[in-house]
Chains A and B, each alone.
Chain A
Amino acid sequence: MEAATRTTATRPAATQPKATRPTATRTTAIRASFGLTGATIAALAVLVALPLAFVFLQAIFPALAQGRFTEPFGHLGRTLGDPALLELTLNTLKLGACVVALAALIGIPLGTLRGLFNVPFARVWDVVLLVPFMIPPYIAALGWIMLLQPRGYVQQLVGVHAGPLLFSFGGVVFVMTLNVLPVVYFAVSRGMAASGSRLADVGRVCGGGAWRCFWRISLPLATPGIAASLLLVFAMAIEEYGTPAALAANAGFFVLVTGIERRFSEWPIDLPGASTLSLILVALAMLAFMFQRRLMRGRTFETATGKPIDVELRALGPWRLPVTALFALVALVATVAPLCAIVATAFSRTLSGGLALSNLSWVHFRAIAQTGGDAMQALGTSLALGLGAALLTGVLGLLVAYCVVKTRTRGRVLLDALAMLPNTLPGIVVGVGLILAWNQKWWPATPYNTWGILLLAYCCLLLPYPVRYAQAALQQIGDSLEAAARVHGAGAVTALVRILLPLLAPSLLAAMLLVFAVASRELVASLLLAPTGVQTVSLFIWRQFEQGSVGQGMAMSVVTVLVTTSLMLTVTLWTQRRAAR
């Protein structure tokens, strides 16, 4: 891995106008490149910077919500002077670090096996391991509770429970890791498949042992993907509210997000305090972000040269059976177990009736059908918003990644950081930021109180996925490809669309599927931002729970997971068939 600075010196002319005399084509290319960057910056400004700026202002000006800029920093002393703050911060870091470690421990080996070897039922595992993402975290946590608590389903079946284990720090790490596992698994498997195999084969030809080639070639080449996904996991872990609130609050383990949520729900509402805690969260994520950049600096990962990629996966040989068993085990724990609890509850007439044939009933599904189309409307709204968010973040993510990785635009680090930030913001903070930003009287028009505000919220919250995935993939694509296109007269945009996009498609599509899955079940921001009269799936489910109808909520979750899974399956199969053609 040579130093990146070397490569910079030979970047294509478009970004180094002074080095060569600009020809007409090049001038256009430069303009296009600037236009691209400009548009990207503008979009990020609207989507991310604006709500974040208002959160920042709210932390400084306690009366901002009332439209006054009085008493700047009036609240800061009280919030920062709270002795619990240090503990909350340390707990948050501890939780993030442990989830990252465990997700890496499970996700990297699994992703590697999937990316490099011919794993039996590979497609099945891909789908099954995507399911945890379609189960809202609070539902998954509830599923685990009903599975493992005293008198839970496991005890009803085999007579043992794991209550104390579940309601603890370890329990939170366990459940959360299973929720975020797809991020690492997909990033690693796609990254490995794209790069690791062929060069490792070269290594083998040159006499390197299998392990040596893996450690020296495949693994290092996949680092961008691994590091990027682990950064996402860290951000998700410190941002997630439902799981720690449901599982660890009892054990006296509190994190920044629970503190933020509390300031938002405890009367009187403490907007400035919550904003200040949010900024601490953002700072933590920025540290992780800087750490990741440091880790990646001075290396290049260019492996895609445009030559036909050898997609042949290696045979597992005698390891076939153990590897299959490993995948089955992870799928069983991560997906099947919580899903079983959800399905069991959905089909139980009453929760107190337990697992009994006499308690089996369609009643909850029938109740959903009887809501007069409300449930289906909610599903439609969520799917449409998920699709919209996936498309918008996909395009934007690609643009951000391109500007950051392939251009030398000044401020691209800022662009990169800006695209990362939202993932560290709890949904409720983005929600408040968006209200503060868009409910101002001076806007001539505003998306506030329309479904557009939900789309903005989802795009803001989920932008980091496509950005991270596309960046990791872009870092593996050699500059020579684009340069070749430019030499043949293609502008920046044409090169991007015709050369880079096809190469990025698998990673980008994986990220967009994740966005779709997460957006179609997002709860916390929706709870705050839902325009009057608009209902999403998560709101529907949450209202059932609030109403004491756990069974109906779970039935709706089952329907949603079924619909989203089959939709995503269709998309995946369709793209695969297209690729095969």
Chain B
Amino acid sequence: MQIRNSVLGLCLTLGAVVASPAANALTVYTAGPAGLAKQLADDFKKSTGITVDVFQADTGKVMARLEAEAGNPRADIVISASWDSALDLDKRGWLLPYVSPNAATVPAAYKGPSYVAQGLSALAIVWNTQSGTPRPKDWNDLTQPAFKDKVNMPDPAQSGTALELLSGLQAAQNDTAWKLFSALKANGMAIAGPNAQAMNPVLQGAKAAVFGAVDYVALGSQASGEAIEVIFPSSGTVIAARPMMILKSSKAAADAKRFIDFVLSNEGQARVAATFLVPARTDVPSRRPSVKDIKALPAENDADRAGRQALLERFSTLYQRK
């Protein structure tokens, strides 16, 4: 009898869990930074009374969930760490055109008809100051014998930002960039998973530097006392914007627009700045080197972006990735 009751219980439990989340809530899918989305959601609720349900994961998981849900989309707003995903979703016609009035001071490069940057980060060399290696100033310095087997790079296949760096370097320098990649390979540079996985060995000192780490995470670690320095290479680096977009399938488009406005408001941008990201709006102060202080590589054109798959394959072959 007990067993039959348990089976019954199982069925009941399965039935009971079908409760639906709060009606009228706004659903936001976002890729990092961890606390930011939650804070923005809380602030937004305080000022508008609209509940925001947040799903947070890395860009890959966010996109995988979007893709798997394509038949019955759930998200209203997507915040990605990779500009490419915005361009691609736009090309597929999934995005709702919207230009926020608060986006006026967002540079043209970081907004489009249906997407706008939430904030920006730059790719940098993160160097362990106690590693006994000379302080690197540019990407090339990491090919020096002092850095033999002591450099990590996030895997461009897993880290969207690392791929942007790869692509930006190739677009700007072409063959010179490939000489750099080959020299780094010859110097024993390791490809180490997503961003955090590349960084930890540098914190402990197993490696001396990361080639192309996301700067805001490292700046945060530095602020909490880690012996590292975030160095923006003299020859230029890639500025990675984190796009926000509204899905066309959203049933709460009006609220979604308000949320985008809110993130781009003074209050929202201050929250963004607090995480060591560069605010998307140029008229909001940032607590770190701003885009003006970082030498940026020239922006890529559509052809450069289109060639990324081939680029990734060439890089993967060079580093024998499967």
Contacts and interface: CB of A to CB of B under 8 A. Distances in A.
Report which residue of A163, A267, A435, A439 has the largest number of chain B beta carbons within 10 angstroms of its beta carbon: A267
Interface stretch (B60-68, B266-274, B286-294): B60-68
Contacts of A547: 32-35, 217, 220
A242 B250 CA distance: 35
A405 interface: no
A452 B17 contact: yes
Contact of B74 (A163, A252, A439): A439
A351 B226 contact: yes
A39 B7 CA distance: 7
A446 B193 contact: no
A352 B205 contact: yes
User: Could you tell me the dominant secondary structure of chain A's interface residues?
Assistant: helix
Contacts of B227: 350, 352-353
A436 interface: yes
A428 B53 CA distance: 22
Nearest to B19: A450
A452 B16 CA distance: 8
Interface stretch (B98-106, B114-122, B195-203, B253-261): B195-203
A140 B17 CA distance: 33
B196 A265 contact: no
Given A35-B4, A67-B70, A392 B201 contact: no
B82 interface: yes
A67 B69 CA distance: 9
A267 B85 contact: yes
A396 B235 CA distance: 62
Contacts of A10: none
Nearest to B158: A265
A250 B14 contact: no
B49 interface: no
B71 A67 contact: yes
Chain A interface size range: 35 or more
A497 B2 contact: yes
A309 B158 CA distance: 56
Interface of A: 35-36, 39, 43, 46, 64-67, 84, 87-88, 142, 145-146, 149-152, 163, 245-246, 249-250, 252, 254, 258-259, 262, 264-269, 271, 349-354, 388, 392, 395-396, 398-399, 428, 432, 435-436, 439-441, 445-447, 449-453, 455-456, 493-494, 496-497, 527-528, 530-533, 543-550
Interface string B146-163: 000000000101101000
Nearest to A433: B68
Contacts of B53: 532-533
A142 to B, nearest CB: 7
Contacts of A46: 14
A245 to B, nearest CB: 6
B64 A533 contact: no
Contacts of B205: 150-151, 352, 354
Nearest to B225: A350
Contacts of A432: 64, 68
Q: Which 5 A-B pairs have the closest CB atoms?
A: A452-B17, A265-B60, A532-B53, A67-B71, A151-B205
Contact of A271 (B6, B68, B206, B228): B68
B7 A450 contact: no
Given A142-B200, A145-B201, A353-B227, A266 B158 contact: yes
A254 B206 contact: no
Contacts of B59: 265, 267
17 contacts: A46-B14, A84-B322, A265-B58, A267-B84, A269-B63, A350-B224, A350-B227, A392-B10, A399-B3, A446-B18, A450-B21, A452-B17, A493-B1, A527-B58, A528-B65, A548-B199, A549-B224
Interface string B36-75: 0000000000000000011111111101110111111010
A46 to B, nearest CB: 7
A456 B34 CA distance: 26
